Amino acid sequence: MINSVRGFKDIYGKEAKVWEKLEKRLRESFSLWGFEEVRLPILEKTELFQRSIGDTTDIVEKEMYTFLDKSNESVTMRPEGTASIIRFLNEHKLYGPDKILKFFYIGPMFRYERPQKGRLRQFNQAGVELLGDSTPYAEFEVLSLMDNFLESIGIKDRMLFLNNLGCPLCRQQYRKTLLEYLEQNHNLCEDCIRRKNTNPLRVLDCKSETCKETIKNSPKILDFICENCKNHMAKLEELLKMCKIQYQIDPYIVRGLDYYVKTVFEVHAKGLGSQSAILAGGRYDNLSKDLGGYDIPAVGWALGIERTVLLLPENFIEEEYLDIFFIYFNERAEKIILPPLNNLRKKGIKVSYDPSKGSLKSKMRKADKLKSRYVVILGDDEISNGVFILKNMNLGKQITLPLEKLENLEKEI
RNA sequence: GUGAGCGUAGCUCAGUAGGUUAGAGCACAAGGUUGUGGCCCUUGUGGUCGUGGGUUCGAGUCCCAUCGCUCACCCCA
């Protein structure tokens, strides 16, 4: 027996129906907010992710599916979508002055991590990217979309956490101050002693108890950001309040991808165990330029599909049912039944039948299991009399109709 | 990469201080007025107890190894 690869899952049955509906609802919301789909490749050049996500991040350092293809080029199965969007935008020269672009994507991402609840090695994300708008209205657009969507699919126990990391200018000042503070303090865990030098801001979202204590009294980024960043944040908060979008300021949200500036945010939900973030994102104004492309401001987020599915209410999809189940017992009846049955399907009526041997009782049981609303019975007695039986399964009542009525049976139900 | 827990029928699990033919519920199939479903009843199909060693007269039960799953840390959606 060969089993699936660790962290890779089959999705089928009821779960596949849930996914189908969730994707449909996502597309509806994306379209309402004016976002267009991009179907991006799964494989990209490794360099794209090294340069965008950041060389020293965990994702790039130890979680990527990277390999050499047959022409010895290093390629990587995408661990996220944003880098690809930027590559796509520049490759097709889609940007122009004062142009605002809105893209969304849905699809699988790959990270080599130990699987646990809400975390797989192949997982799916739905993401939006709004390009060309440096004002807080960009954040407002993607966050109002987020809020409306999550509300509409019934995810109630959630909270939007918001922070501002400052622009490259003011962050530099904060980074310096924070580093000085951390140097004085010796209560850091091993990881944070290392992080201190590579990316001191990451210390802020360390979960170890001793670090938390240290962080509590650390200088706060929001006290250091420049006028420009402050105004940006204030305007965004004003817009969110205007539309009653709930949020909390959390000065410890840092994000593990290096490309973020100014606004960063995460949506957390109850019921996921320790992987409580279902959606996260922020502003990345310098990413495109840093990759050698347009100088274009950008905001985006990504939603974890698997995590969202775990949170959906039980009644998210309605029960499947069948319109008519046909019961017959021999080839003589089959000749009468199959042509009109085939026509009913062409008319969009959901029908089924069972050509195998079996008693009327067993076929009735089958009809019941398939949740058929009606059953047609055509036995030898009926054929002799030129009629068939139509039974309403919910009412338990049946009527006898002439065989001609099989042609337009949809009128009888 | 680190730690903990768990692997018994398709699914959820029970299996007492190691003892003879390994159980239940659900699901599946057939039957219960030889032409009528759901509820109920009866019967049946289905497991080399993850795998490989070891201890023992005897192992699903104890020990070791191995594989797999789960949760947590880390990190992240």
Q: How far apart are CA A303 and CA A317, in angstroms?
A: 20
pLDDT at A197 over 80: no
Assembly ipTM? 0.85
Domain final position from A284, A315, A346: A315
Asked if the structure places residue A98 within a domain, the reply is yes
First to last CA, chain A: 48
**pLDDT-wise least confident of A31-45, A92-106, A190-204, A303-317:** A190-204
- Between A10 and A80, residue with greater pLDDT: A80
CATH number, domain of A286, equals 3.30.930.10
Give chain B positions with protein CB within 7 A. 1-3, 28-32, 35-38, 68-77
Check whether residue A118 has its CB closer than 7 Å to nucleic acid strand B: yes
| Tokens standing for residue A375 | 């059953």
What value does the mean pLDDT take over residues A239-258? 90
- Inform me whether the pLDDT recorded for A174 exceeds 90: no
Same domain, A232 and A308: yes
| In a domain? residue A349 | yes
User: Within a domain: residue A405?
Assistant: yes
Identify whether the C-beta of residue A320 lies closer than 8 Å to the C-beta of residue A20: no
The verdict on A23 and A108 lying in the same domain is: yes
Residues A306, A329 within the same domain: no
A230 and A114 within one domain:
yes
Distance between CA A151 and CA A33 in Å, rounded? Answer: 15
**Cβ contact A48 with chain B strand, < 7 A:** no
Assigned token pair, A393? 């399964």
The nt closest to A117 (CA vs C1′) is B71
- Cα A264–A305–A13 angle (5° rounding)? 175
Domain containing A352 — which CATH number?
A: 3.40.50.800
Rg of chain A, C-alpha, whole Å: 29
**A210: pLDDT strictly greater than 80:** no
In a domain, A130, yes or no: yes
Distance from residue A5 (CA) to nucleotide B6 (C1'), in Å? 20
Q: Is the Cβ–Cβ distance between A22 and A305 less than 8 Å?
A: yes
A229/A332 same-domain check:
no
The model's pLDDT over A267-295, given as tens digits with 9 standing for 90+, comes to: 999 888 888 899 999 999 999 999 999 99
Report the candidate in A116, A148, A141 with the shortest Cα–Cα distance to residue A310.
A116
A382-404 residue pLDDT tens: 999 999 999 999 999 999 999 99
In a domain, A2, yes or no: no
Residue A380 DSSP SS3: helix
Residue A177 within any structural domain of the chain: no
Q: Which residues contact A197 (CB under 8 A, 6 or more apart)?
A: none
Work out the pLDDT band at A319, boundaries 50, 70, 90.
confident
Same domain (yes/no): A22, A128:
yes
C-alpha A257/C-alpha A57 separation (Å) is 7
Whether the CB of A377 is less than 7 Å away from nucleic strand B comes out as yes
Average pLDDT over residues A86-109: 94
Cα gap A269→A311, rounded to integer Å: 8
Whether A88 shows a pLDDT value over 90: the answer reads yes
For tokens 């091993």, what's the residue?
A190
Give every CB contact of residue A394 below 8 A, 6+ residues apart in sequence.
Answer: A373
Under the phi-then-psi rule, with left for phi > 0, alpha for psi from -120 to 50, and beta for the rest, what region is A3?
beta
> Any idea what the Cα angle at residue A142 is, between residues A226 and A266, rounded to 5°?
70
Regarding whether A292 and A245 lie in a shared domain, the answer is: yes
Mean pLDDT of A113-137: 94
Element (H, E) at A49: helix A46-53
Is pLDDT above 70 for A186? no
Q: Does the CB of A169 fall within 7 Å of any strand B atom?
A: no
Say how many CA atoms lie within 13 Å of A73 toward its Cβ: 9
**Residue A193 covered by a domain:** no
Q: How deeply is A323 buried, as exposed, middle or buried, from its count of CB atoms within 10 A (0-12, 13-18, 19+)?
A: middle
Residue A199 has pLDDT above 90, yes or no: no
CB A215 within 8 A of CB A203: yes
Residue numbers of the domain that contains A244 = 13-167+225-315
Same domain flag for A296 and A345: no
Reported as a single tens digit per residue, the pLDDT across A350-394 is 999 988 888 999 999 999 999 999 999 999 999 999 999 999 999
What is the distance in angstroms measured between the alpha-carbon CA of A183 and the sugar C1' of B75?
A: 24
**Do A401 and A299 fall within a single domain?**
no
**Residues A25, A122 within the same domain:** yes
Of A254, A286, A315, which closes a domain?
A: A315
- Domain membership of residue A206 (yes or no) is no
**Plot region of A94 (φ>0 → left; ψ -120 to 50 → alpha; else → beta):** alpha
Nearest nucleotide by C1' position to the A391 CA atom: B36
Same domain, A309 and A333: no
CB A22 within 8 A of CB A57: no
Query: Band of the pLDDT at A198, cuts 50, 70, 90?
Result: confident
Q: Strand, coil or helix: what is A324?
A: strand
Helix then strand then coil, % of chain A, to nearest 5: 40, 25, 35
**Domain total in chain A:** 2
Where is the domain boundary, A283, A315, A347? A315
A154 with A263, same domain: the answer is yes
